[in-house]
Copies of this chain bind each other. A is one copy, B any other.
Amino acid sequence: MQFMKRAGLVLLLALAFALGAAEKVKYVFLFIGDGMSMPQRMLAEDFLFKAGQGKLLINHFPFQAPTTTRSANSLITDSAASGTAIACGEKTDNGRIGMDSKAAQKFTSIAEIARDRGRKVGIVSSVTINHATPASFYGHRPSRGDYYEIGIDLVDSGFDYFGGGGAAKADDKKSKGYKGNLYDLAAKQGYKVVADRAGFDALAPGGGKVWARGADDALPYAIDRTGGEVTLADFTRKGIELLDNPNGFFMMVEGGKIDWMCHANDAGTVLRETFDFNDAVKVACDFAAKHPDDTLIVVTGDHETGGLTLGFVGTGYTSKVDLLANQKCSLDEFKSRVSKAKAASFDELKPLIAEWFGLHFDAAKKDDLYVKPEEEAALRAAFDRKALPMAVVRLFDNKASLGWTSSAHTALPVVTSATGKKADLFQGMIDNTDIPKKLETVL
């Protein structure tokens, strides 16, 4: 009898093991670096390495799965099709949000599944919250450009927490379905809508659904912050605070501005956005350290942007990514400064170039930041055609041994990294549509 009991126990354990694939995880985080593939991730790690500051957290999660990203109609996906793939597990045409290629069928997102299974749900982004990537988790619209309508989907989602940038076209009276300002509509649906730092800081659990934004549009670039701004890490921390409950939660956090400055081919700003994104992931890791058996953290990208390469024809086998430390503002901010300077000649702008990028024109000091006569001539020509800021950033990136080949996305796979409970689901070469299918098994 004693033996039979033990045999029964062994059988039960075997069954539990076999059923392991269906094991649930209480806290599930999905981080998406928009436009972040291996080049962007390794750029950040190389910069840390040169500075003697260790490794990039997300690159060293125990599981790292190369992830293909093609959409239904192109090898090069846009953020709507990739967002839909990551959120709903289905391929669609570029431009669609949570719908099929013909815009006939609405897909169900992993966030909606989490909601329907009794989890609390949070959606955070550093860009506008009705932008393609976050939209794919709650929206179902034929076009990513249907911002107002996507905002209506947000208001109707019943999700517990929205955080980050504001809504694009929040009061789009030209929309056929216009029925009021999105923030007002959200308030009517029971959302506490918060737009200032004090209000954000005061947010506490138990107060119902929340829509918090740190800026009217997107959050400022990390490199341009002046202090006091709510960061992506802050929004993540607040999300954990608000969403924690006995049934657990699902939270998606997007670092959306990595992509923006990859489009503009501005590596120094991309670098700081990647660090900022990594900091947000760190908040989840700190939480996971307290709940090691109940937390899964997945980090992915939706596509590569810009055709970034960690080498350049002019610098050969020498990497000079450490030069990026000399950049002190984003291309956008630099454009604004150049514009305000109203310079009549290129020479008037030299101090500005030196101040914000460390580049100099002193032939007596021929270091890595010296602008050679032929390079200066190219900058002068760019000034004449009113394209100086972009030319400065391009020259600066090339000096930092970095190349770019596109202002759009590329077909390079991304990498999906996972740590925590059931992280071993993310192995081998996967497709972006596999991500929500894997997540569904643990929700």
Task: List A residues at the B interface (Cβ < 8 Å).
Answer: 2-3, 6, 38-39, 42, 45-46, 49-50, 59-66, 68, 70, 74-76, 78, 94, 304, 307-313, 316-319, 321, 401, 403-413, 415, 427-429
Contact = CB atoms under 8 A, between A and B. Distances in A.
A2 B321 CA distance: 67
Nearest to A58: B429
Given A76-B319, A317-B408, 12 more contacts: A38-B413, A45-B68, A46-B75, A50-B75, A66-B66, A74-B317, A76-B310, A307-B310, A308-B309, A311-B411, A313-B407, A404-B405
A403 B311 CA distance: 13
Nearest to A309: B307
Contact of A42 (B42, B404, B412): B412
A312 B49 contact: no
A169 B130 CA distance: 64
A321 B61 contact: no
Contacts of A313: 307, 405-408
Nearest to A402: B405
Contacts of A3: 2-3, 6
A372 to B, nearest CB: 19
B428 A63 contact: yes
23 contacts: A3-B6, A38-B66, A39-B412, A42-B413, A45-B68, A46-B70, A49-B75, A60-B428, A61-B429, A64-B427, A64-B428, A64-B429, A75-B310, A76-B310, A78-B317, A94-B317, A307-B312, A307-B403, A309-B406, A310-B410, A311-B408, A313-B407, A317-B409
Given A3-B2, A70-B49, A317-B409, A428 B310 contact: no
A66 B415 contact: yes
B411 A42 contact: yes
